[in-house]
Structure 1
Amino acid sequence: MRSAGAVEAVAVRLDAKVTDLLPAVEHYNTETDRLQISTVPGTDGIVRRIEVRASDGEAKAHWVVFALSNNTDEQVDRLIVAPFYRMVGSGLFWPDLGNRRILNLTPSQGFKPERQSAPDADVFLVTLDPGSTVTFVAELTGEKLPQLYLWEPDAFKDKVNSFTLYHGIVIGIAGLLALFLTILFVVKGSVMFPAAAALAWAVLGYIGLDFSFWSKVFGLSPIAEQFWRAAGEAVLTATLLVFLFAYLNLNRWHVRYVHVAAGWLVFLAALVVVALLDAPVAAGIARLSLFAVAVAGLGVVIWLSQHGYDRAVLIIPTWLLLLAWVVMAGLTVEAVVTNDLVAPALSGGLVLIVMLIGFTVMQHAFAGLGAVQGSTSDLERRALALAGSGHLVWDWDVDSDRIYTSPEVEDALGLKRRSLETEAAGWLEVLHPADRDRFRATLDGIIDQRRGRIDQDFRLRAIDGHYLTFNLRARPVVGADGEVVRCIGTLVDVTGERIAAERLLHDAVRDNLTGLPNRELFLDRLDQALTFTRIDDTLKPTVMVIDLDRFKQVNVSVGMAMADSILLTVARRMMRLLKPQDTLARISGDQFGLILMSERDPERITTFADTLRRSLRAPITFADREVFITASIGLVLSGGDQAKRTDVLKDAELAMYFAKRIGGDRIEVFRPAMRQQKTDRVALEDDLRHALERDEILVRYQPIVRLDDRAIGGFEAFLRWRHPTLGELPAAEFLPLAEETGLILDLGLFALEKAARQLGQWQRLVRVDPPLFMHVNVSSRQLLRHDLIQDLKAVLARNVVAAGSLKLEITEALVMENPEYAAVMLARMRELGAGLCLDDFGTGQSALAYLQRFPFDSIKIDQRFVRDSAKGPARAARPIIVGSIIDLAHHLGMDVVAEGLEREEEAGEMSHFGAEYAQGILFGEPLTADECRALFEPVRSEPRRRRTAV
């Protein structure tokens, strides 16, 4: 129970029609169902205390206390009125949507106030005796009491009667307007009419709630009215949005606008569901949405009017009036404008706006009819002429958005009758995807410009999936209001002409055999790529020239028909590796050009080129024979200084010819030095003769690892030539020339000396068991030369290495050229303390009887057996062959080294077969001595352990 002090009494004046009591009330909240108050002192000055109990017996109660004083000599009757809902001051966020306000009214003296019957307010009749002061305690339904008035009974009655008449007039006009627009929709089936009718019905429902009309008709409770008021505001916003899109025809082609509108409507529909749970929250969001629709709609209307859209121009005054109405409604609910007449005026203004919208819609409903009438004879003549020409009719009724076409079109496409008699958007389903945007733009242009002609080719999909090409020729028909009412013309099947034109164009820019772009189209696309590169730095095209090695010999041996089939197979293999943004072209007989746009990282580009090269190496099977094709690839990386397409292509061709000169089946990246390089053999031989003198020959070391623990077991030495103009060249680019000129002897001795010296240093640095070893290749000229034994002896004398750790690699083919002499030479090398490794085992014509006589301590399995690239029966036989080779080597007491490993699966497979060692890019590229030394640093303090190569 809570005590309350006395309040100041409000003096009742006889001439006052209405008095606002809200400033004079005091609010109380009690935790019990009782309230004790001190009354206002009467004429005798005595203050009394009274106790009031809650009528519903709730533990918590809400109260207001006020006092009235009759200082006159007459008995005064007054009405205390607490309205359920008023728009004024209801609020924008979490608005007050109305409710019952006063449960019970208790006076401190006199008769208990009588509750009067009223549909929209709590009304109590109180009687004040002359000279009395009465304190009133009102029990509330909630914490809020937005309005409380003291009315003179006759004045209140007059006010209710006057507003009842006004409400009836406004509701009658709104109802007639909604009914009229609905009838107009039935008469004229354009989409804007049902949208306008829906808006009119939504306005009728909204003002019916605002005038408490529906509560009188259906007996709605104040709580139910909260839901219907929130839902009505959401529906009003939704119908206004629908009308805007329907009237401006934005729902025909502008897909983004349709998506925005659909999403907005779904959101507003969700507000109706939210209103069931929390009506004030839903109403607040609906009011904000109404303001957003009004502002956004004005922006769209103004933008379209500036582009000459007459419908938008006509709706501008009405929409400005709507925006003014929305602003005024916002000021009213925020209590900036508080006049009692503002709410009824806003309801009447809303009906007026809908009436203006109805007049605008009616103008479009009946405009343009006269333009079509009165020309019957001319239409008949045109119809007869059309029938005689054999052309097919195409007619688009813009207002109803329906297209009619002759049944012959549907027959040609194999479609059902009337399947093409649909809205314009329905044609998008049968149009070719590439023609849909152009179809939209064409019809939009006719509507916006209200003039012009259509002369376009469009592809329509037949029932079996193929497309027929039709030529559409049409022109708009403009009504009296200047708007397009229909667009009518003819359709002609031009599929045959289109195919003939495309064939001529295809033959002009495509290769007849492979269907790939020819040289001219390739250069055109290269020019476009270079232009885009200058505009956008992120675009980095890479150009490749692929030339098939020795294809002329293949052409002679297999015949021209089979050679053409080989070219087709090569083209398909390369196409499978490309992405849509890449271009492959046949630029000459056996030469292809490639513009690579899908890869930009240099490493990924070179990886792609290597994948391309390896895919071409796979055998091509014809009948009972296999043809092996290799290719030389020249590559120009993006970012060069080439300004012309011909320069870029020449650079790629120069790199390709460079790859072909040094043996083919290679990839060469263009270097600017290639433009000035000496291409004659004499000049290159002269440079090679002075390479050792100029300290241009280098040695690189590739790791060889143990497969059981992935520790480094040794290295293989590779020669590199740091050419002053060509850059660093691998051994394969200069060793063939050195072999022919005899310079291989000096180079071989240099490699042997450098490898032995480096091996000795590493063995002293890293002491492991077994010791590190080094493989050095021996050429045919070195093996056949008697001085090789003396050279080897001198090298081993100058460099202290573990016995058998300096291994000389000799190919199987070289040994079998003269097996007797080779056996003697190999035995003497073994006696000097050198190790021996048989390279490329299994690729030559080995005789097992001779193999037992050769003192090899290890063999190398060629990478062709390591990689699982075979197909058919050969693939099934590969594990048997590899396993047999390794078993044979083990029976002869030899270690096995698998070379050319690129993938972890290959390493696991070789380990499973029993190979001890492996090398390849999986474990590292050839490194410098310093880079190899860095690999040993972590294990110098642990002499009995080996480090991992990778």
Structure 2
Amino acid sequence: MRHLLSLLILCATAWVIGGIVGVTPASAIESVRVPVDSRAIDLTRSVERYNGQGDRIQISTAPGADGIVRRIEVGAKQAGTQPNWIVFALTNDSDEQLERLVVVPHFRLAGSGVIWPDLGTVRISAITASQGFAPESEESADADVFRLTLDPGATVTYVAELRSAILPQITLWEPDAYKDKLTSLTLFKGIVIGIAGLLALFLSIVFVVRGAIIFPAAAALAWAVLAYVCIDFGFWHKLFAAGGEADRVSRAVAEASLAATLLVFLFAYLNLNRWHVRYSHIAAGWLIFLAALVGFALYDAPVAAGIARIMLATVAAVGFILVIYLSTHGYDRAVMLIPTWFLLLVWVAAAGFTVMGSLTNDLVSPALMGGLVLIVMLIGFTIMQNAFAIGGMSHGVVSDAERKALALTGSGDIIFDWDVNADRIFVSPDVETQLGLRRGDLEGPAAGWFDRLHALDRDRYRACLDTVLEQRCGRIAQDFRLRSADGEYFSYAMKARPVVGQDGEVVRVVGTLADVTDIKAAEDRLLHDAVHDSLTGLPNRELFYDRLDAAMTMTRSSDRAAPTVFSLDVDRFKQINEQVGLSVGDSILLTIARRLGRLMRPQDTMARIGGDQFAFIIVSETDADQIMQLADTIRRAINTPITFSTYEISLTSSIGVAFYDTALHAKRDDILKDAEIAMTHAKRAGGDRIELYRPGMRAQRSDRLALEADLRRAIERNEIKVVFQPIVRLEDRTIAGFEALLRWEHPRLGTLSPADFIPLAEQTGLIVDLGLFAMDRTARELASWQQALDVSPPIYASVNVSSRQLLRHDLLGDVKSVLKRSGVLRNSLKLELTESLMMENPEYAAQMLHRIKDLGAGLSLDDFGTGYSSLSYLQRFPFDTIKIDQSFVRHNGKGSRPVILRSIVALAHDLGMEVVAEGAESESDVIELSQLGCEYAQGFAFGQPISAAEARKLVGATAEAA
């Protein structure tokens, strides 16, 4: 018992001391048996690894032949370091002393990894044996090699200090076997390096000779492969005495260069810049990235190598997809590259399995290097075959005849050869194929072509050939039309010249035929478009004038019937375009053209000479009544509604008619201008009518032009005045407000009512300036009235708004500006809009009215009942007042007012609107309107429109009465 206690105390003391000095115990390991005849034993899975043990490690040895387990302690070569350790044990069961080599390669491609790969380094610093001879380190540039000696029947435990945390492989080699392996691999490596070097040198020489861009790209790829193979086979650091970190950097640079040169070769070989400029941008950006990666390898070699390996696989995969895509589009270069690039893809896949550890055989890495050189060799063969196949004649000596034959083949023209003596024509089979003829149909005598030539081209064809034969010189440059088998004609341009024999006579006529059918069709189309309207296909103004000239000339030189000219304009077509859109408007014009075209006789002419303006030359009728009846037929044809999608559009037209008079119409413009003047009178009279030109219309037209010029200056000259018509409250006969009306004090014509100049202002666009003028003056007067008369509800004034004002987005700004400057009370300045104006574009009108209402202006619906508004739309408009048109206020023929008047008043009240009745001319009208429920009335019963000064006095009198 005492001995057992002493033993426990001794063990505990040893454990404590071991802890103090930093020595960590380790359990005994299993030994690996080493047979005498073994050539190599892989110890990678038989070693035990120890990390974080400090600079000393204490292990238990493998049990020897006597079964005793011993403990040994090993210290690091440098005190204070934290190396990694491996431990393995070897047993020699034989009676012989064995010598073996422990080999740990510096770099091993298998299992090196893709991301942050292991690029190689010195693995083992020293190996310590538990007994026997100490391991001896041997010189080797590619691996750590230690020679071990195993005594007969001995079991030796070895502790190896590692310089790297990664141990790719450790192998126990028989010395002669290892030497044989190195010898055999050295021979293989030398052959591969020699082939790679010769290939790179050859491609470089070919580049110097040929100069095509594909050769330097291939040469660069070959040099990159050569450098990569030299580094992998260990030839690089033998040549330059490099090692350690330089070897890792050079390996990373080589892998990045391999990916970059492969990308350059792919871009150059496929000539990607000719397919799409985007390919050039992508390739350039990719190449810049790879070039930067080469520089980054100097900073962090493992990261750069990992990215390079990913880029190499990406270039191979993307390149294969691109090669297949271009091959399907008929690019011969891509077709030739498919086998080689497929092998490259297989090589990349095998390399990927290798670096990820799926393939670990020692022969895999040399085989991959040899395969890479083989692929580059195939690439070299491919580009040589392609370059010399397509460029055999480009750099050789070409005769003048061959050069002309090549040029003729490249032009695609058809050969024409007429043997004059044999009277036989030869043409290329292409023309017969195009015409759908049998081979040889166009070969034979020159006269045999007459049946195939267009009737109008036969004389020209005969004259050209005859002239060449007679003159014995010259050139033929003519266009002919040949009929195909299905009757269609194709146009050909013939260029030929005679060949004179020794006797001075023409023996052959040789040249080419070029298909110019498309060119002729384009020329005909341009000629047609030059004199026809592109939308309707009708003659345009130029062709109209040409035919009018011809008709007038025929009338002057013979007794032919005099022409009559119609000028037709579609009424309100601009508003229709704004409502339904330009595309629908074009469809309407096309429908009109087709309708009217069916009414024309062959000798008559219909033309489109403007947007919605048409003109007609009538020569088929001479009787005036028949001509006017034709004009009415045209008018009624346009009146027929046009249905388009959900629209049913009713149209009207204004037509002017002018008969040709040799005394009045010396020029073609004169008769058309007369028809247009008549058309303008028809339009001014309300449209949907026909006007016959009368000489007095020219004077009226001149007056209108002068009136338009005066109107443009009327506002500046202060000739436009605003007058006010009182609006009376029927309940107490007090002034509720005024309607602002415009008068023009013309210096020559006197006072003009709105009916005399408002339509002209609408047509010329001056209505916008007049409307703003009226709104501003009315707002100023209203502000002064409201200051003088403090009553409730406040006095108001209304101003008419035209369609041009409503369609302008500036109307909102004008109203806002006027309200802000004048300071009138909210809703006291009312804008009057007609019912028909609202329904031209109800959606837009509703939106605009709501925005005007929000600004603080009142809204009044004028001439209610005379339009075609829908009650559903009427509810959406924010009007506060309805003005009943005077046609409903006046007595009908039976002496009573229309029954609908009462309904209109009731409807307005149901909608929450006040009612103003227009046209109250007598006291009885006023009484009856009051009984019907109308709140307000205006008319001659309360006086004529008065000036601003008189209105001011009237408001003042009302204020005193109040």
The two structures have a TM-score, normalised by structure 1, of 0.51
Supply the distance in 1 between the matched residues of 2:302 and 2:200 (Cα, whole angstroms).
28
| Pair 1:792 & 2:930 matched | yes
Work out whether residues 20 and 150 of structure 1, in 8 Å CA contact, stay in contact via their aligned partners in 2: yes
Q: How does 1:610-629 map to 2 (within 5 A)?
A: 617=765
Q: Which runs of structure 2 are paired with 1:575-614 in the superposition (5 Å)?
A: none
Q: Matched residue of 1:30: which SS?
A: coil
Q: Confirm whether residue 229 of structure 1 aligns to residue 251 of structure 2.
A: yes
Mapping 1:5-44, distance limit 5 Å: 5-30=27-52, 32-44=54-66
Which residue of 399, 407, 416 corresponds with 1:376?
A: 399
AA partner of residue 109 (structure 1): Q
Match of 1:133 among 151, 155, 163: 155
The answer on whether the counterparts of 2:316 and 2:341 sit within 8 Å (CA) in structure 1 is: yes
Given that residues 249 and 298 in structure 2 are in contact (C-alpha distance below 8 angstroms), is that contact kept between their aligned partners in structure 1?
A: yes
Q: Does residue 261 in structure 1 map to residue 283 in structure 2? A: yes
1:72–1:130: 8 Å Cα contact kept in structure 2? yes
1:212 Cα offset (Å): 1.8
1:288-367 to structure 2, matched below 5 A, reads 288-367=310-389
What SS does the aligned partner of 1:98 have? coil
Return the letter of the residue paired with 1:351: V
Residue 96 of structure 2 corresponds to residue 96 of structure 1: no
Q: What corresponds to 1:915 in structure 2? A: none
Q: Describe the SS at the equivalent of 1:311.
A: helix
| 1:745-782 Cα deviation digits (max 9, x unpaired) | 866665656666887xxxxxxxxxxxxxx753331x13
Give the Å deviation of 1:147. 0.3
Is this contact kept in 2: 1:90–1:96, CA < 8 A? yes
Residues 510 and 292 of structure 1: is their aligned pair in 2 closer, same or farther, counting only changes over 3 Å?
A: same
Report the secondary structure of 1:23's partner residue.
coil
Output one character per residue of 1:643-702: Cα deviation in whole Å (capped at 9) or x when no partner: xxxxxxxxxxxxxxxxxxx8986762599xxxxxxxxxxxxxxxxxxxxxxxxxxxxx98
Q: 1:105 to 1:845 in 2, by over 3 A?
A: farther
Is 1:105 aligned with 2:206? no
**Residues 25-77 of structure 1 deviation map (CA, whole Å, 9 limit, x = unaligned):** 01111263332211222334332222333334456432111112233344433
Native 8 Å contact 1:735 1:744 kept in 2: no
| AA matched with 2:188 | Y
Matches within 5 A, 1:457-536: 505=529, 507-509=531-533
In the alignment, the residues of structure 2 paired with residue 560 and residue 132 of structure 1 have an alpha-carbon distance, to the nearest angstrom, of: 136
1:55 aligns with 2:77: yes
Shift of 1:202: 1.4
Q: CA deviation at 1:195?
A: 1.6
Pick from 915, 929, 936 the counterpart of residue 776 of structure 1.
915
Distance, in Å, in 1 between the alignment partners of 2:163 and 2:136 is 18
CA contact under 8 A between 1:10 and 1:68: conserved in structure 2? yes
Residues 842 and 873, structure 2, Cα contact 8 Å, conserved in 1: no
TM-score scaled by length of structure 2: 0.50
CA 541–91 in structure 1, closer or farther in 2 if over 3 Å, else same: farther
How far apart are the structure 1 equivalents of 2:524 and 2:851? Answer: 62
Partners of 1:35 and 1:775 in 2: CA distance: 110
The structural deviation recorded for 1:193 is 1.4
SS of residue matched to 1:231: helix
Question: For each residue in 1:470-513, what CA deviation from the matched residue of structure 2 results, as whole angstroms up to 9, or x when unmatched?
Answer: xx999xxxxxxxxxxxxxx99x9xx9x99998586355336989
Letter in 2 for 1:78: R
For the structure 1 residues 384 and 77, does the alpha-carbon distance in structure 2 shift closer, same or farther, using more than 3 Å as the test? closer
Match of 2:952 in 1: 851
Q: Give the whole-Å Cα distance in 2 for the aligned partners of 1:543 and 1:285.
A: 69
Q: Distance in 2 between matches of 1:233 and 1:360?
A: 24
Please name the residue that 1:77 is paired with. Answer: 99
2:188 to 160, 166, 184: 166
Change (3 A) 1:617 1:218: farther
Q: 1:46 aligns with which of 43, 52, 68?
A: 68
* Partner Cα separation in structure 2 for residue 123 and residue 239 of structure 1: 36
1:617 and 1:513 mapped to 2: Cα distance? 27
Please give the secondary structure, in 1, of the residue aligned with 2:145. Answer: strand
Q: CA deviation at 1:210?
A: 1.0
Identity %: 43
Q: Residue 257 of structure 2: SS of its match in structure 1? A: helix
Structure 1, residues 836-859: CA drift from partner, whole Å, max 9, x if none?
A: xxxxxxxx86231343224799xx
Question: How far apart are 1:150 and its partner, in Å?
Answer: 1.3
Mapped partners of 1:354, 1:158: distance in 2: 30
After superposition, residues 531-542 of structure 1 pair within 5 angstroms as: none
Trace 1:833-912 onto structure 2 (pairs within 5 A): 846-854=947-955
Change (3 A) 1:93 1:561: farther
- Asked if the contact 2:87–2:158 (Cα under 8 Å) also holds between the matched residues in 1, the reply is yes
- Tell me which amino acid in the other structure corresponds to 1:352: L
CA contact (8 A) 1:82 1:123 kept: yes
Deviation for aligned residue 1:252: 1.1
Q: Deviations over 1:723-759 (max 9, x none)?
A: 9997757699994754678698866665656666887
Q: Which residue of 2 aligns with 1:208?
A: 230
Letter in structure 1 aligned against 2:399:
T
1:801-851 per-residue CA deviation (whole Å, 9 max, x = no partner) reads xxxxx6x475xxx6xx68xx449xxxxxxxxxxxxxxxxxxxx86231343
Partner of 2:425: none
Task: Please state how far the C-alpha of 1:341 moved relative to its aligned partner.
Answer: 1.9
The residue type equivalent to 1:846 in the other structure is S
Q: Hey, what's the Cα distance between the residues in 2 that align with 1:267 and 1:89?
A: 27
**Does the CA-based 8 Å contact 1:703-1:716 persist in structure 2?**
no
1:355 CA displacement: 1.2
Shift of 1:8: 1.1
Within a 5 Å distance, the mapping from 1:382-401 to structure 2 comes to: none
Q: State which drifts further: 292-301 or 80-89.
A: 292-301
Q: CA deviation at 1:95?
A: 3.3
Q: Does the C-alpha gap of structure 1 residues 752 and 788 become closer, same or farther in structure 2, counting only changes over 3 Å?
A: farther
Q: Is the Cα–Cα contact under 8 Å of residues 33 and 58 in structure 1 kept in the other structure?
A: yes
Alignment deviations for residues 103-141 of structure 1 (CA, whole Å, 9 cap, x no partner): 332222345433322222122223333333222222223
* Distance in structure 1 (CA, Å) of the matches to 2:52 and 2:263: 47
The one-letter code of the counterpart of 1:159 is K
Q: Is the 8 A contact 1:716 1:775 kept in 2?
A: no
Whether the 8 Å contact between 2:124 and 2:162 is mirrored in structure 1 is: yes
Are the equivalent residues in 1 in contact too, given 2:92–2:153 (CA < 8 A)?
Answer: yes
| Structure 1 residues 35 and 849: CA distance shift in structure 2, 3 A | same
Deviates most, 848-857 or 164-173: 848-857
Residue 147 of structure 2 aligns to a residue whose secondary structure is: strand
Match of 2:798 in 1: none
Q: Say if 1:76 and 1:127, in contact at 8 Å, map to a contact too.
A: yes
Q: Does 1:668 align with 2:692?
A: no
**Structure 1, gaps ≥5 residues long:** 386-471, 475-488, 531-539, 567-612, 622-627, 635-661, 672-700, 760-773, 797-805, 824-843, 858-891, 896-950
State the secondary structure of the residue aligned to 1:124. strand
> Conserved in 1, the CA contact under 8 Å of 2:103 and 2:170?
yes
How many residues are treated as equivalent by the alignment? 584
Q: Please list, as runs of the form range in 1=range in 2, the aligned pairs for 1:650-661 lying within 5 A after superposition.
A: none
Kept after mapping to 2: 8 A contact 1:185/1:193: yes
Aligned-partner SS, 2:146: strand
1:526 and 1:220, CA in 2 relative to 1: closer, same or farther beyond 3 A? farther
Aligned mates of 1:8, 1:735 — CA distance in 2:
119
